[in-house]
């Protein structure tokens, strides 16, 4: 009985996170993606966060899916090593080449590189010869691109996509997302493409069309036509748009997408529609049945701490605060974060070590927390049920022996084997501050950190 209950709590982590998110306590740092709220069919809020874990892929990979489904994209080549750049650029016909840094963040066009050797231009560059295209690709590879979405440290560019260039008549915005309020798939379209949709939503919301698709009647030509008219398309472009909307919708549902964003969708000088940029995110809970998506997983794009945690099956999410938390059970982890906030500080992470954590797992969790430079203090809060307090204590002692302890540590243990847990900590002669209950623990760690 208890086992089942525990399983349910652990599996409901996404919902708990949403609940806390609504109180604006923290954002999920991993896998940024656009999410939004609809009210009376109007977009009332755009956020660069999402409630579920999303697996993102690169633009060139998303375009491969678009190509597979028959959506209009240009020919391109991916370059992983500098010496491949020349051949790749040479395989494409000019007269224009576009060189695009592949990172899991938007705003590349307006971004800047940290290293001078990358040149002054941003992460999307135009070239008029194959040799210049190759040179630009070489300049970007291995360098660090900073955009509005990467944060000030930026992201290292490990892959560059060289694409055929084209002449743009106009740029639009088209996206498919999950509307969480109605649990429906929704479209968002705007004439104002190529720029921040968040900005359009804030300043000129009337220029955004959005609607949800009724799952019972499904998608029909009418939806595509509505988008085509909103974009101001004419003649055969309307037909092209209807087909594109159907194609994207099919891809979205078949591949378990969370979001699919084409920004910009363009009208070329010749008057045809083209997907010039594409961002796709997928529901990570569906990855067991999406091998093609999983094959596109790029580990180098993940927060290394979250990656390490996932290898040890720890529920870990890095946050912006200063107090590292090690807790068992998602509910207790949420309560711990809330109480830290209540006493005037911010949690540095969400960490649920789970029900049956081993000493090794606890050691690993402790290592991950201490490797976070923002952590000014650690709060271990364990309610031993299935998890035994002595196991947690052994893990903590072992971890501190291995890596040392440079910040204050408050430990609150309660439940199964609590006495032997406390004894292990006391006998270890570690500099641990003991706490009697949850608020005592939170007060003590906040006081220790604030000095």
The nearest distance, CB 105 to ligand GDP, in angstroms, is: 8
The nearest distance, CB 106 to Mn ion, in angstroms, is: 6
**Gap between the Cα atoms of 108 and 275, Å rounded:** 16
If the CB atoms of residues 124 and 314 are measured against Mn ion, the closer one turns out to be 124
The answer for residues whose C-beta is within 8 angstroms of residue 32's C-beta and 6 or more apart is: 48, 49, 50, 104, 105, 149
If the CB atoms of residues 170 and 428 are measured against ligand GDP, the closer one turns out to be 170
The nearest distance, CB 192 to ligand GDP, in angstroms, is: 11
Binding mask 273-302 for Mn ion (x = CB under 5 A): ----x-------------------------
| Residues 227-266 contacting Mn ion, CB under 5 A | 263
Is there a contact between 425 and 391 (Cβ–Cβ < 8 Å)? no
**Gap between the Cα atoms of 419 and 424, Å rounded:** 9
Let me know how long the chain is. Answer: 451
If the CB atoms of residues 268 and 416 are measured against ligand GDP, the closer one turns out to be 268
107 binds, among Mn ion, ligand GDP, none (CB under 5 to 8 A by kind): ligand GDP
Binding-site ranges for ligand GDP (CB under 6 A)? 98, 100, 106-109, 124, 165-166, 168, 171, 194, 263-264, 276-277
16 binds, among ligand GDP, Mn ion, none (CB under 5 to 8 A by kind): none
The nearest distance, CB 166 to ligand GDP, in angstroms, is: 4
If the CB atoms of residues 135 and 261 are measured against Mn ion, the closer one turns out to be 261
How many residues bind Mn ion (CB under 5 A)? The answer is 2
155 binds, among Mn ion, ligand GDP, none (CB under 5 to 8 A by kind): none
Residue 190 binding Mn ion, by CB under 5 A: no
Convert 311-328 to b/e letters by CB count within 10 Å (16 or more is b). ebebbbbbbebbbbbbbb
276 binds, among Mn ion, ligand GDP, none (CB under 5 to 8 A by kind): ligand GDP
The nearest distance, CB 231 to ligand GDP, in angstroms, is: 15
166 binds, among Mn ion, ligand GDP, none (CB under 5 to 8 A by kind): ligand GDP
If the CB atoms of residues 34 and 380 are measured against ligand GDP, the closer one turns out to be 34
Coil, strand or helix: which one is 45? Answer: strand
If the CB atoms of residues 128 and 214 are measured against ligand GDP, the closer one turns out to be 128
The nearest distance, CB 117 to ligand GDP, in angstroms, is: 21
Choices 131-139, 198-206, 210-218, 271-279; region in contact with Mn ion by CB under 5 A: 271-279
If the CB atoms of residues 109 and 142 are measured against ligand GDP, the closer one turns out to be 109
165 binds, among ligand GDP, Mn ion, none (CB under 5 to 8 A by kind): ligand GDP
The nearest distance, CB 74 to ligand GDP, in angstroms, is: 7
The nearest distance, CB 310 to ligand GDP, in angstroms, is: 27
**Gap between the Cα atoms of 382 and 410, Å rounded:** 11
Among residues 84, 135, 261, 394, the one annotated as catalytic is 261
139 binds, among ligand GDP, Mn ion, none (CB under 5 to 8 A by kind): none
| Residues 403-442 contacting Mn ion, CB under 5 A | none
173 is catalytic: yes
If the CB atoms of residues 73 and 318 are measured against ligand GDP, the closer one turns out to be 73
Among residues 173, 306, 322, 364, the one annotated as catalytic is 173
417 binds, among Mn ion, ligand GDP, none (CB under 5 to 8 A by kind): none
Q: Which residues bind Mn ion (CB under 5 A)?
A: 263, 277
Which residues are known catalytic residues?
173, 261
């Amino acid at each position: 009985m208890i086992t089942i209950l525990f399983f349910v709590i652990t599996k409901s982590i996404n919902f708990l996170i949403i609940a806390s998110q609504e109180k604006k306590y923290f954002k999920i740092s991993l896998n940024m993606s656009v999410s939004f709220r609809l009210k009376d069919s109007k977009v009332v809020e755009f956020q660069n966060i999402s409630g579920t874990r999303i697996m993102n892929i690169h633009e060139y990979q998303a375009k491969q899916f678009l190509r597979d489904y028959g959506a209009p994209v240009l020919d391109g080549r991916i370059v992983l090593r500098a010496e491949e750049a020349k051949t790749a650029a040479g395989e494409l016909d000019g007269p224009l080449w576009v060189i695009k840094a592949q990172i899991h963040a938007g705003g590349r066009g307006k971004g800047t590189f940290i290293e001078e050797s990358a040149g002054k231009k941003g992460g999307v560059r135009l070239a008029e010869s194959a040799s210049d295209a190759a040179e630009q690709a070489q300049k970007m590879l291995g360098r660090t691109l900073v955009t509005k979405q990467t944060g000030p440290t930026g992201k290292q560019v490990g892959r560059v996509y060289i694409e055929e260039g084209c002449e743009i008549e106009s740029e639009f915005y088209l996206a498919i997302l999950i509307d969480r309020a109605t649990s429906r798939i929704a479209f968002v379209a705007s004439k104002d493409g190529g720029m921040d949709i968040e900005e359009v939503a804030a300043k000129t919301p009337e220029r955004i069309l959005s609607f949800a698709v009724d799952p019972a009647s499904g998608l029909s030509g009418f939806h595509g036509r509505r988008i085509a008219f909103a974009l101001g398309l004419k003649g055969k472009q309307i037909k092209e748009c209807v087909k594109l909307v159907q194609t994207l919708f099919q891809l979205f549902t078949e591949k378990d997408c969370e979001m699919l964003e084409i920004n910009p969708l363009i009208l070329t000088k010749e008057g045809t529609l083209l997907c010039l940029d594409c961002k796709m995110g997928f529901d990570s809970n569906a990855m067991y049945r999406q091998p093609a998506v999983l094959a596109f997983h790029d580990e180098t794009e993940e927060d290394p701490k979250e990656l390490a945690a996932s290898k040890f099956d720890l529920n870990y999410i890095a946050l912006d605060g200063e107090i590292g938390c090690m807790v068992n059970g998602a509910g207790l982890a949420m309560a711990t974060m809330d109480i830290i906030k209540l006493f005037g500080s911010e949690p540095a992470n969400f960490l649920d070590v789970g029900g049956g954590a081993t000493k090794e797992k606890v050691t690993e969790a402790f290592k991950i927390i201490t490797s976070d430079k923002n952590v000014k203090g650690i709060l271990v809060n364990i309610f031993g049920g299935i998890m035994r307090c002595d196991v947690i204590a052994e893990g903590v002692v072992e971890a501190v022996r291995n890596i040392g302890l440079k910040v204050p540590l408050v430990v609150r243990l309660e439940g199964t084997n609590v006495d032997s847990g406390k004894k292990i900590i006391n006998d270890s002669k570690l500099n641990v501050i003991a706490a009697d209950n949850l608020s005592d623990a939170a007060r003590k760690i906040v006081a220790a950190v604030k000095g």
